[in-house]
Amino acid sequence: MRIPLNTTVAPSGTLRLVLRDQRVEVHYQIDARSMTSSARPAGDREIGVDKGYTEVLTDSDGQRHGTELSELLTSESDHRKIKNARRVKIRSVAEKARDAGQHAKADRITRNNLGTRKRDRRSSRWQQTVRTTTFRAVHAVVDKAALIAAEDLTKTFTGLARRGRNVNRRLAAWTKGITAEALASVSERRGSVLTLVNAAYTSQVFPCCQALGQRSGDRLHRTRCRVVWQADHAAAINALHRVGDPDITPHTPYQRVKRIVRERADRQPDQTADPGLQPTLWAESETSERSTLINK
């Protein structure tokens, strides 16, 4: 049997035929060392990253990678919400027709309006776009990193019941699994070291003074240091700080992490901001207001 291929590259080695959507896919393995990206050199720095929803990664330099991820996730999630709501109505019409004995009508509705072929093709295209965006962002980080410190997000989210239904639905589509796969794959191929650290409270600790604060949206406000941190940037810096931390390991419970952070901050109550750490977001208007109040 001859199968026409849509590529000019002849597959070799062990072939696997996959029947999907009435099409035949030919899968085969390639040596990762032969890929062009494998010859791309990695950087020589230690970089911390934070995985996010609005972007794929934010690194400890404050640079955001894959900023189009938010639009991809939000638009697809909202599209599925609308389409699924319409399918529910159409399915209800088909069920009523079948209950009324109009089996031919019910079969036509099911066959012409409740198929999954177009939906599956759209989902496949969307997943490929997300993967391309994610891998491109990870490559940009590895371009400057010999060591990458990333949060271990294998645990599930908690407290999502307090969020809105739209937020829960969109977070359910969050592709943190693809990001984790890309970090592991790209770093291994290009010779960079990936180190997973404990994710607890990384986005609520101020890198300038290591104090535990209250996050408000995507910002961390610190009155003593008179700075406003972008939470993802702070999380990336804190992830880098936790590499080799003897007290906070990847398996340390979050309750103990919180206690350790507070104990460290209490031991240094008068610590000022590290001049080497600069926030990515500075609220000038808020600073002016605080200065006016202090002068008064």
- Any domain includes 93: yes
| pLDDT tens-place string over residues 159-188 | 444 556 666 566 555 678 889 999 999 999
| pLDDT tens-place string over residues 110-162 | 999 999 889 988 988 998 999 999 999 999 999 999 999 999 877 654 544 45
Which domain range does residue 250 map to?
215-295
User: Do 169 and 275 reside in the same domain of the chain?
Assistant: no
Which spans in the chain are helix H? 69-99, 103-113, 117-142, 165-172, 176-190, 231-241, 254-267, 284-295
Asked if 191 and 147 touch (Cβ cutoff 8 Å), the reply is no
CA of 28: how far to CAs of 9, 52, 90, 136, 238, in Å? 11, 32, 41, 23, 41
- Any domain includes 175: yes
Token digits of residue 16: 């696997």
User: Do 52 and 122 reside in the same domain of the chain?
Assistant: yes
- Any domain includes 38: no
User: Do 232 and 178 reside in the same domain of the chain?
Assistant: no
pTM, two decimals, is 0.79
Tally of domains within the chain: 2
User: Do 126 and 230 reside in the same domain of the chain?
Assistant: no
Domain end (from 163, 194, 225): 194
Asked if 27 and 19 touch (Cβ cutoff 8 Å), the reply is no
User: Do 138 and 221 reside in the same domain of the chain?
Assistant: no
